[in-house]
Amino acid sequence: MLRGTGHRAVVYMLYGFLAVLSSMGPVYLMIILSHCLVLYSVALAKQKWLCYVAGLCCLASFKMEPFSSWQSGFVTGAFDLQDVLFYGGSGFTIMRCMSFALESVEKKEGIYSIFDLLKYNFYLPFFFFGPVMTFDQFLAQVSNRELRRKEDEMKNIRVHALIHAGAIIAVDIFFHFFYILTLPSDLKQSHLTLIFASAGLAYSNLVYDWVKAAVMFGVTNTIARLDHLDPPQPPKCITMLYVFAET
């Protein structure tokens, strides 16, 4: 049994804060902090509808002009994943802030501190690509001082890590060598394929999308499990769906 310290969440926050600062720059960090501050201020009103409206407006600001260009214009430099990291980190930040705000509304006495919000938001494995663990679950798990590993838990983590490494290789193979992605972009050739082939192509594209999501969930979830967290489960493959509610 390992005894955790009360500063575990602070260490995670500082590491994530510095990682975002070094990878995206100080201006992007200020944009993230400004959205956190806005939604924290809204949470003080303890009105659910106001939290939803403010969160949706913040999300819309990344798609509506001139707000989108104004915010993205602050980020200087260029590298391959800059747009993905910019919109991914911003979008998931706002969703986490909404979760924090809604939990603050439910709190009977007082409100959580903005420091709690920053600890929640800047947990690096979830920052750019999610998934979104609700604030109440994150707070309960990261505050747990009794850190125990279940029997064979490390073995399961290693197995899942190997599976996700294989999935990453599979995604790379699909992307570079298979035609399931290129054929839909040229619909002129669709009349040359049989209806069953077209159905198989559509199914393959759906499975490919699931594999990409499973990889993103799997990598971040594996790291989170190493940090003694119980992250949200990845989405089910379309082959395993039997009712619409499971989508």
The residue count of the chain comes to 247
- Do 87 and 207 belong together in one domain? no
- Do 141 and 157 belong together in one domain? no
pLDDT digits (tens, 9 = 90+) for 139-179: 888 888 777 777 787 888 888 888 878 877 777 776 666 65
Which SS3 state, helix, strand or coil, does residue 47 take? Answer: coil
| Model pTM score | 0.77
- Do 164 and 79 belong together in one domain? no
pLDDT, average across residues 42-63: 90
Greater confidence (76 vs 26) lies with 26
- Do 143 and 168 belong together in one domain? no
d(CA 31, CA 208): 33
Question: Residue 3 has what pLDDT?
Answer: 44
- Do 131 and 160 belong together in one domain? no
Q: Which of 80, 112, 147 is the last residue of a domain?
A: 147
Q: Is the pLDDT of residue 4 over 80?
A: no
- Do 213 and 196 belong together in one domain? yes
> Which residue carries 């983590």 as its tokens?
157
Handedness of CA 104, 107, 109, 113 (dihedral sign): negative
**Model confidence at 2, in pLDDT bands (50, 70, 90)?**
very low
**Model confidence at 13, in pLDDT bands (50, 70, 90)?**
very high
- Full residue range of the structural domain in which residue 114 is found: 2-147
pLDDT digits (tens, 9 = 90+) for 206-241: 766 777 677 777 788 888 888 888 888 777 666 666
Q: What are phi and psi of 38, to 5 degrees?
A: -60, -50
- Do 28 and 79 belong together in one domain? yes
Kindly report the number of other CB atoms within 10 A of residue 241's CB atom.
13
Q: Do the beta carbons of residue 208 and residue 180 sit within 8 Å?
A: yes
Q: Which of 88, 114, 147 is the last residue of a domain?
A: 147
- Do 135 and 210 belong together in one domain? no
Greater confidence (72 vs 185) lies with 72
pLDDT, average across residues 12-34: 90
pLDDT digits (tens, 9 = 90+) for 83-136: 778 888 889 999 999 999 999 998 888 788 999 999 999 999 899 887 888 999
Question: Residue 225 has what pLDDT?
Answer: 84
Domain count, the chain: 2
- Do 208 and 115 belong together in one domain? no
Question: Residue 6 has what pLDDT?
Answer: 56
- Do 182 and 65 belong together in one domain? no
- Do 62 and 112 belong together in one domain? yes
- Do 136 and 226 belong together in one domain? no
Q: Which of 147, 163, 187 is the last residue of a domain?
A: 147
Beta bridge partners, 2, equal 147
